[in-house]
Amino acid sequence: MFKDKVVIVTGASSGIGAETALAFAREGANVVITYKENKAGADEIAAKINSLGVKPLIIQADLTIDSAAKNVIEQTMQEFGKIDILVNNAGRYIDGDEWNGDCEIWIKSLLQNLVSVMSVSKYAIEIFQQQKSGVIVSISSRYSTDGQYDALAYAAAKAGVANITQAYAKLLAPLGRANTVSPGAVNTGYWLRAPKEELEKNLANIPSGKLVEPREVAEKVLFLASDESLDMNGQNIFIDGSLK
């Protein structure tokens, strides 16, 4: 499905990003993995991709820094000569992001979860406009649709991700498209570390009775990046087990 396509997956050293990178590689894509700190995780995913017979490229980048975001695009072009798909996955919840939290934590969360997406997307879109083709899939969050007083800036940033991806959809049409996937509680990252009581409380609000698996999110990303979704642009797919 994606044979010889070039796909950038940001934040691909673990979790949803790692699963998405592997899923594209299994379909024959050349995958660019970006990571901020987890080099061991990025190396592990790259080794798995390499074993599938396709070419991985690892780039260390703090995407909150504009020059680093630009470098990701430039290195990808130098290595492969094109970019077909950008998956905006990088981002994370930061402890202390409550309604009465520290302003510095809010700013850090907005930088990591929203500004990073804006930075790498603007340079990718310049390439897409030159190529007259390109696809963006951004990872937002189900929590972006509700006020989250205990994850204030994170939820606001993820709402921003969905909003700017709709803007990118208008910008890229009709030559390209941009869509969003918004997972609920995913069985990775924060929820792997969460106290048992908090996890049980969260599960009680999910009619399906389970966390979303990274593989399930990756499947939706591949669908939105594929020709099977050519008629979809500016959409937001929720995958949350009917979270209340």
Distance from C-alpha of 142 to C-alpha of 180, rounded to nearest angstrom: 11
Distance from C-alpha of 84 to C-alpha of 37, rounded to nearest angstrom: 26
- Selecting among 35, 154, 168, 190, the annotated active-site residue is 154
Residue 101: left if φ>0, alpha if ψ -120 to 50, beta else—which one?
beta
Residues 99, 88, 47, 45, Cα dihedral to 10°: 30
Q: Is the dihedral of CA 7, 25, 115, 59 positive or negative?
A: negative
Which residue shows structure tokens 């700013």? 107
Q: Is 35 a catalytic residue?
A: no
Nearest CA-CA partner of 132 in 84, 88, 167, 179:
84
List, by residue number, the catalytic residues. 154
